[in-house]
Chains A and B, each alone.
Chain A
Amino acid sequence: MLVAWYVLSANQIISPTRFPAPREVWEALRQIAVTGYADARLHGHILHSVKLVLMGFAVAVATGVPLGLAMGWSRRTEALVNPAFLLIRPIPPLAWIPLAIVWLGLGDAAKVLVIWFAAFVPSVINSYAGVRAIEPHMLEAARMLGIGRWTLVREVLVPGAAPMIFTGLRLSLQACWTTLVAGELIGAAAGLGRVLSQGALDIFPAMILVGMVGVAFAGGVMTWALGWVELRAMPWRR
């Protein structure tokens, strides 16, 4: 593939205004890493994007997982919350972007809000499913032993639901990342999406490609980091 790319672009079979040659990509990468592009250098854009994702993701996990656990544990909470939740659930995260912009403008706050929405739904659903998947006799046994409410949550519910919770977190993280890139493409002062949209405005295919590689790289690293946390959090699954 790499050889084909080099040969095709060297012979102008692929027009350079459509897809960049390897050399141009290397130069674009050097430009953004050394002198900067779209008001920041590459690591600045990446860190900015990653910071926003982690903020929104953390808020979503902090709100979504407890809500999901509560819904899975108590039928009453489920009955109370579920109908409103079902109304919101089919709306894809990206569709919240215009609303967030109307409410909060093009700044970071709007992005964190949208990322929160994006990660909230999978966090809730999977934590809920996780609690429901705990075998009832585990709960009965715990209750027979007469352990307290909080001990039950800490020792039985959370570990029992943990595999599903982590599945939810992985889905959430992916949704966060996609949503953030879309949000930044629509309008942002910094971030990888900004690099992409500026590259599109300047018709600078090499820089677009660099931006895409950045998106893939940062997304991959975050997914990997979450996998690492998952292994640490559930040592019994190794």
Chain B
Amino acid sequence: MSLRLLSAIGLGAFFGLWTLIALSGLVQPQFLPTPSAVAQEFFRLMREPFVGYTLQTHLASSLGRFAMGFGLAVAIGVPLGLAMGWFRTLDAIVTPLFDALRFVAPIAWVPFAALWFGTGIGGPVLVIFTGAFPPCVINAYRGAKFVEPRFIEAARMLGAGNVRMVTEVLLPASVPSIVAGLRISAGLGWQSLIGAELIVASSGIGYLMVKGQSNISTAIVMSGMIAIGIVGVAIDVALRALQARIERHRH
């Protein structure tokens, strides 16, 4: 049997079983709608607003928060990581603190985030930031630490100061590591955003799912999951394209 046929059978079995269970009447459609009902709900949510906005608007507000949190994490994390890779004292001061904080799951920041910045934009942005920040720092740090010593020696011979060393030697040399970190960081940030919106938010895709959950509408919840999956993949594809581009540029 060809592999492609097997793949088709696998997918068919997945959706077939799902449809069968949904249609069998063993579970109420409220709890397990058929795949086609979920698809219909998905498109209905794109046309008709639910809890205030359409699906696209919810997604847009989630993406806005994501962009802010992720942007902040990159803007602070990458320079910090590079500087830690160069200045030993900074490394010695920040590393223990950073290691201790890293064990706190980003989601555990939600109560403080809400207390400090409210539940609108600030709170979720802080949660995304805490999710996306560590990979930025770690990868920039590693990139800077593993720069070939002869580059550093050459730059030093040419009389580069500390600042120029970081911006003109360490940064370009660490770009591949940093971009790899960005992908991890975006994935974690996007996840943390969903968590934050499930717990505290008044709009966004997580909020839509919570409302679907309290209306006991599995179709809405599943539509939200699909949208989250699609956007997550889109973000990763975009960053992977960036990564490929940088790789090509270097060779």
Asked if A154 is at the interface of the complex by the 8 Å CB criterion, the answer is: no
Contact present for B190 and A79 (CB under 8 Å): no
Contact present for A75 and B3 (CB under 8 Å): yes
Overall SS of chain B's interface: helix
Closest Cβ of chain B: how far from A212's Cβ, in Å? 5
Contact residues of B between 226 and 250, Cβ < 8 Å to A = 226, 228-230, 232-233
Contact present for B194 and A95 (CB under 8 Å): yes
Contact present for B198 and A98 (CB under 8 Å): yes
Contact present for B194 and A92 (CB under 8 Å): yes
Asked if B88 is at the interface of the complex by the 8 Å CB criterion, the answer is: no
Closest Cβ of chain B: how far from A99's Cβ, in Å? 5
Closest Cβ of chain A: how far from B57's Cβ, in Å? 19
CB-CB contacts of B112-135 with A at 8 A, as 1s and 0s? 101110000000000000000000
Select from chain B the residue with minimum beta-carbon distance to A213: B104
Contact present for B224 and A208 (CB under 8 Å): no
- Chain A residues with CB under 8 Å of B191's CB are 92-94, 178
Asked if A126 is at the interface of the complex by the 8 Å CB criterion, the answer is: no
A83 to B198: give the CA distance in the assembly, Å: 28
A75 to B6: give the CA distance in the assembly, Å: 10
- Chain B residues with CB under 8 Å of A81's CB are 10
Contact present for B6 and A196 (CB under 8 Å): no
Closest Cβ of chain A: how far from B166's Cβ, in Å? 24
A98 to B216: give the CA distance in the assembly, Å: 10
Asked if B225 is at the interface of the complex by the 8 Å CB criterion, the answer is: yes
Ranked 10 nearest A-B pairs via Cβ? A200-B111, A216-B103, A98-B213, A84-B14, A90-B229, A79-B3, A79-B6, A80-B10, A92-B191, A178-B105
Interface residues of B (CB under 8 A from A): 1, 3-4, 6-7, 9-11, 13-14, 31, 97, 100-101, 103-112, 114-116, 190-191, 194-195, 198-199, 206, 209-210, 212-213, 216-218, 221-222, 224-226, 228-230, 232-233
